[in-house]
Amino acid sequence: MLSSQSKIKVQNFGRLLSNMVMPNIGAFIAWGLITALFIPTGWIPNETLSTMVGPMIKYMLPLLIGYTGGKIIAGERGAVVGAIATMGVIVGTDIPMFMGAMIVGPLGGLAIKKFDAAIHGKVKSGFEMLVNNFSSGIIGMLLAILAYLVIGPAVKMLSTALAAGVDVLVTNNLLPLTSIFVEPAKILFLNNAINHGIFTPLGIAQSESLGQSVFFLIEANPGPGLGLLLAYMVFGKGSAKETAPGAVIIHFFGGIHEIYFPYVLMNPRLILAVIAGGMTGVFTLTMFDAGLISPASPGSIFAVLAMTPKGAYIGILLSVAAAAAVSFIVASILMKTQKSVAGDEVALKEAANQMRDMKQGSKSQTTANASLDMSAVKKIIVACDAGMGSSAMGASLLRKKVQAANLNIEVINTAINDLPGDVDIVVTHKDLTDRARKHAPNAQHISLTNFLDNAMYDGLVNDLKSAKK
C-alpha cells in the first residue's frame, strides 16, 4: 500500500495530467462528433467538412492542452509560453502531440514563473510591460526550439515504444489485464488521471488511424461500477443498501463514477468484482473490435453512446452489459460468502452502528482549526479531486439541509487544488483529506467515506444550529 505522503504525490501528479485535459473535454467531443458525422465512414459523409478533422487533432487539441498546462503553473503568462512551446513539438513531429503538450505546457509555465520570481522587484518603473512581453516571447521561442529539436522527437520515440507495447498486448489478447491495475487505481481517486492522462493520448493516436479506440472505454466503462452497485441493492445492508439505488442513477446515467468508490472502500475485497467486470468489458471490446471515437466524459452511458461510431453499437453495449453482469455476480458471491451472522436483527444493528459512526465522524474528523467557532461559520466547501462529480452531489445535499435549517451559510463544491483561503469547513473523502489540509490549513476538515452520507451532513447541520443558538 502507498504511504499517505506517496499517495498525495501520486494524486497530485495525476491531478496535473487530468487538469490539462478536463477543461478541454468539450473540444475533444467537438472533434469526435465532427469525425463521427463527416468522415467517409461517418453518419453523413462530407468531404469538405471532414477536412477539419486532421487540423483539429494535430493543432487545436495539443495547443489547448499546452495552453492549459502552462496556465495551471503560471496563469495567463504561463499559458502563452506553454502554447508557444507546444507549437514546437507539434511541428517537430508528424504524430498528434498530446504527451508532448503535457510535458512542454507545464514546462513553459514553470520557466516563466521562475523568471518572474527572479526579476521580482528589480524592473524599473515604466519598463514592466516591455520586460513582460519580451520575456514571454524569448522564453517561448527558446522552449519551442528545444521542443522542436529534442522533446518532440523524444516523445515520438516514447510513443512508438508505447504503441509497440500496446500491439503486443492486443496481439496476445492481454489487454484485459490492464484492469488489474486500472480498477484499484481508480478507487484511489486516480480515475481522471488514468483516463485523461494516459488513455486519452493513446486513444487519440489509435482513433486517428483506425477511426476508433478501445482505450477510451477501458477506464470509462460504467459497467463494472453498475454491477457493484446493483449487488449492494440486492445483498447490501444498512445505509449502503439504501443509498445504492440513487448511486446507480448518478453513476450510470450521470457518469459520475466516483460515487461507487466508497462502496468498494467499505468492503475492499469487492475490488475483485470491479476488476473482473473491467476485464470482461475490455475482452468484449477486443472480441467485437469495438471502441469509441473520442473520450466519453463524464462516463455516462449517454456519453458513451454519443461517441460510438456507426457499426460498433453492439460491441459497446455488450461490453457495458457483460462488465456489469460479471461485476454483479462476483460482488454478490463475495458479499453472500462474507463471514457474518445472518438475520435482519443483526443487519439492523450493523446499520445502526454504521449510522452512529458516521454521525460521530462529523465531529471527530477535524484537525487544523480545532478551535473554530461554529457560530461564525460562513462558508463550507465540499471538495473532491475534480471538483465536479461527487463533491457537486455532496454540496447539493448539504446545501438543502443548511437552507432547511435557515442557516446563512454558503455551501459550494470545488476541486481540492482550488480551495480558497477563506473557507471555514472543508468536507472531503477520507483518502483526500491530507491533500485538502495542505491547500486549506486554517479550515476545519471533515472526512467521510460516502458523499451521499446523510447522517454526517445531519450531524454537521445540528452542530451548526446548536452553535447559532
Among all residues, which ones are annotated catalytic? 384
- State phi, psi for 444 to the nearest 5 degrees: -90, 130
Q: Give the Cβ contact number of residue 316 at 10 Å.
A: 26
Of 222, 214, 213, 240, which is closest to residue 183 (Cα–Cα)? 222
Strand partners, 444: 425
Name the region of 221 (left: φ>0; alpha: ψ -120 to 50; beta: rest): beta
- Residues 247-280 as b/e (b if ≥16 CB within 10 A, e otherwise) read bbebbbebbbbbbbbbbbbebeebbbbbbbbbbb
DSSP string of 140-189?
A: HHHHHHHIIIIIHHHHHHHHHHHHHHHHHHHHTT-GGGGHHHHHHHIIII
Query: Is the peptide bond prior to 96 cis by the omega test (within 30 degrees of 0)?
Result: no
Side chain identity at residue 167, one-letter code: D
Contacts of 391 (CB under 8 A, 6+ apart): 382, 383, 384, 413, 414, 415, 428, 451
DSSP 221: -
| CA 396/CA 115 separation, integer angstroms | 42
DSSP 339: -
Query: Taking each helix axis from N to C terminus, what angle separates 152-171 and 98-119, rounded to the nearest 10 degrees?
Result: 150
Q: Which cell is 88 given? A: 514546437
> Residue 57's Cα: distance from chain center in Å?
22
Alpha helices in 198-343 (DSSP H): 200-210, 223-235, 238-248, 261-265, 271-287, 301-306, 313-336
CB 159 within 8 A of CB 99: yes
Contacts of 351 (CB under 8 A, 6+ apart): 237, 238, 239
| CA 384/CA 39 separation, integer angstroms | 38
- By CB atoms closer than 10 A (0-12, 13-18, 19+), residue 338 is exposed
Place of cell 442557516: 407
